[in-house]
Structure 1
Amino acid sequence: MLRRLALVAAPALLTIVAPVQLHGACAADQVQIAVVVDFGTGRSVSAACVGAGTRDSGAAVLAARASQLGTAPPRTNASGLVCAIDGYPSEGCGEQTGGHYAYWSYWHGDASDWTYSNVGPAGSRAQPGTVEGWRFQPAGAGNPSDPPPRGSPDAATTCRPAAPPATSVPTVRPASRPAARTGGTGGASTTAIPTSAAGGPTSTDVAPGTTAAAGSSTETAVAAGPLANGAPTPVAARRGTGGHGSSPWGLVGGVGLVGAVGGAGALVARRRARPSP
């Protein structure tokens, strides 16, 4: 029976602690191994994520845990039996009292349950995803009927994936709108209609943007605007001073012609008004 107990060992006195993430940047040939150590009924449970080599034994992983936590290294006897973890118990190694043994039982967790190991830690190779479990049995039977560790058998509970490094999100500034231009070229513009001294609009010789040909006569009508008394402003007409302009005598002749036509009309009206003889 003592030979079977050489696979296990004795406990240490600690407070119950949360899983400890001991892994940092691991070498290419290293893996993360979850290790749960239960110091027995009424005592503490320790869970740690330990960086270990891909071919390390259970005994090597247990020693790596103590080194990373800064606790006492595992104590073993000549046959390889684990007598103490983290210095607990301080003495003795697999002591038998009647039909019971005070020893460290060795277990493996597979995410759903614990399995009692019949192979000592020196002959067992640690596997990623499998939990290395230990529980001190003050009066154990030395077989799978002994209670398993109280920690989680799920490696993901102890060895949580490392959070990805935070990345900064670039700030996108909205493009600034160009200020509206109030002057210069290229934009629409308004042209004020020149006014006369009396405040009304005046005639314009040439419309904006056009040029009168030399020697030609142009005429532009300007929209009428209201006068002070509400009557529409008469449209003014101006003639150019080109060389082919009409003489004032044409205007006088036209007026005379209108007068003659008017007189003839009046004469006809009088004759019709006379009574027949």
Structure 2
Amino acid sequence: MTVVRRTLPVLVAALLLLGSAGPAGATGYRYWSFWERTGGHWTYATQGPAFVRPDDGAVQGFRFAVSADSADASRPRGTADFDTVCAGTPADPGTKRVALVLDFGTRSDAPSGETPPARRTACARVPSDATTADALAAVAKPLRYDANALLCAIAGYPREGCGEQVSAGGKRSGNGTDRGTGGGPSLGLPIGAGVVALLAGAAVWQARRRRDESG
């Protein structure tokens, strides 16, 4: 029984490690990543924008790019200071202000036939219990989500596609100055699904072992 309990986390850890590393020359994913500004630095969000409820004065960022893996995710560029972004939006009781940095990426990251809009910022005034998704919807419509609630488009960009795979050779890597650690569809979607499948299978296996041992 001890062997079974110790083996399960090892299997899960092994799959996560393999998924985050990925094969050499693996494809990347074209998607909107979500970031939070803390202590003057961007941190890849650990929850989706529909689950984060920022405080008044928060700075949140979104970046459209192709990322090969979790360590390759691109940070939002440009102004990321609350006082600057929300300078013309005074505090108001019962509401909060969220500074949003919207980086539509580069031409090398754009889908075929599309041109990324210029980077911009916006100050969203929303109810005090609003999520980041609510703040985004207040200033950057139209938004587009897929059936799994993955954010596909901000302000209508891109027109089509959602987290699709892109060959690694089809993306210019740039000088690396806007790269950051974090997660992306290469870990959050395919590998996440693999972990769920592994956990489900391991749970069934563990239950059967318990029945066999107790029988």
TM over 0.5: no
Normalising by structure 1, we get a TM-score of 0.28
Normalising by structure 2, we get a TM-score of 0.35
Task: Give the structure with the higher percent helix.
Answer: 2
Task: Give the structure with the higher percent strand.
Answer: 2
For CA contacts below 8 A with separation 6 or more, give which structure has more relative contact order.
Answer: 2
Which structure's CA Rg is the greater one? 1
